[in-house]
Structures are given as structure tokens and as C-alpha cells.
Structure 1
Amino acid sequence: MAAYDLYGVKGGTIFEVRLKVEESLNVFFEERESTYQGGVYYRFGDDESEKFVLKVNVDPFDGEAVEQEFSEYPVLIYVDMTTRSEEIRRLLGVEFCLLRHELYD
């Protein structure tokens, strides 16, 4: 069963959060740019397996929060198709707030 998790971070810039995640999870993000993702964002993994997307919580088209119900979190981390949800949560620590956890077969 795969999990789709969303984390929010209140402190730090997207660059600072990127460094913390890379260190905590021993991954290396690729910098990308997309209008759809709100400008510069970071990605690790591919569409066929576990994937992380780190981005700011601002919709580039209307300036509102992408995740409206979590607007107090300026930086978001999407963890998609993971089978190690609990391990990631433990490794990220208390600074990273688990906002949503969904399981799929």
C-alpha cells in the first residue's frame, strides 16, 4: 500500500528547507522551474516510484495558498507513492508537520 503525504514547514526559505530534507533523508533534489508549480521548485524521484516535490505554498495565478486549508505553512513537501511513510516522518522530525496522509492500493 502506497502513501501520499503532505508536510508543511513554517520556518525557513524553500532553499533552507531543501537542505534540511536532503540531509535528513539522504536524497538530492533537482531544481526545476514551472509556472504551474509557482516558479522554482525541487523534485526527487520519478513518476513511477517514490517522489518528493518541495515548493512554496503560493498559487502563481491568484497569489492565494495552493493548499488553502494549510495557508499558514509557506513551504510544502509532497511525498508521493511511498511505502515508508512512518520512517520519513520520523527522519524529518518535529519541524515538519504532517498535514495529510492518504493510503492507496
Structure 2
Amino acid sequence: MAAYDLYGFKGVAIFEAKSKVEEKLNFYFEERDSSYLGGVYYKFGGKESESFVLKGNIDPFDGESVEQMFSDYPILLYVDTTLRSEEIKLLLGPDFYLLRHEMFD
């Protein structure tokens, strides 16, 4: 079963979070830009496999948090379609707080 996890990062600089994830998970994000997603964000992985998206927790249209239940976290890391949820949680360590964990077939 694949997991869909959401992590929060309390640091204010997305570049700091990007560097930490890349170091801990041993991959490099691709920088992207989307007005829909609030400007610059980072992505690693594909549509049919495990993927990571790192972005700010600000909705560009209303200025509110994208994940309003987790508005205390200015940076979000979405981990989609992973089969190694526990491993990623351990690798990310205490810098990233697991906010949501969902399992799907």
C-alpha cells in the first residue's frame, strides 16, 4: 500500500528546507515556478512513482495557509506514492514534523 505523507518545516526559508531534504534523502529537487502553487516550489519524482513537492504554506490567491490545520508550518513537504514512509520519516529526522499520513491501495 502506498502512503501519502505531509511534513511541516518551521524554518522560514524554503531554500534551507530544500537543502536539508536533499542532504537527508540523497537526491536533488528540480526548481519550478507556478503562480497556482505560490511561486517557486521544488519537485522530485514522477507521476507514476514516489514523488516529493516542497512548497510554501501560503495560498497565492487569498494569502491564507494552504494547509490551514497546519498554519504554524510555513514550509510543507508532500511525499506521494511512497512505499517507504517509515524510512523517510527516520531519514528526515526532527527538522520535519509528520503532519498527516494516509494509506491507499
Could you tell me which amino acid in structure 2 is paired with residue 66 of structure 1?
A: V
Distance in structure 1 (CA, Å) of the matches to 2:46 and 2:100: 21
Structure 2 length as normaliser, TM-score?
Answer: 0.98
Indicate the SS of the match to 1:55. Answer: strand
Structure 1 residue matching 2:94: 3-state secondary structure: coil
Looking at structure 1, the residues matched to 9 and 28 of structure 2 have their Cα atoms a distance apart, in angstroms, of 19
- Residue 94 of structure 1, CA deviation: 0.8
Q: TM (normalized to structure 1)?
A: 0.98
Aligned twin of 1:19 = 19
The CA distance in 1 between the partners of 2:91 and 2:80, in whole Å, is 16
Deviations 1:59-98 (A, max 9, x none): 0000000000000000000000000000000000011000
Q: Number of paired residues?
A: 105
Q: Does 1:61 align with 2:61?
A: yes
Q: Percent identity?
A: 70
Gaps of 5+ in 1: none
Distance 2:18 2:12 in 1: 10
Aligned-partner Cα distance in 2 for 1:70–1:17? 17
Match of 1:90 in 2: 90
| Partners of 1:43 and 1:56 in 2: CA distance | 13
Specify the code of the residue in structure 2 equivalent to 1:18: K
**1:49 and 2:78 are equivalent in the alignment:** no
4+ long deviations beyond 3 Å? none
> Helix, strand or coil for the counterpart of 1:11?
coil
Offset at residue 12 of structure 1 (A) = 4.0
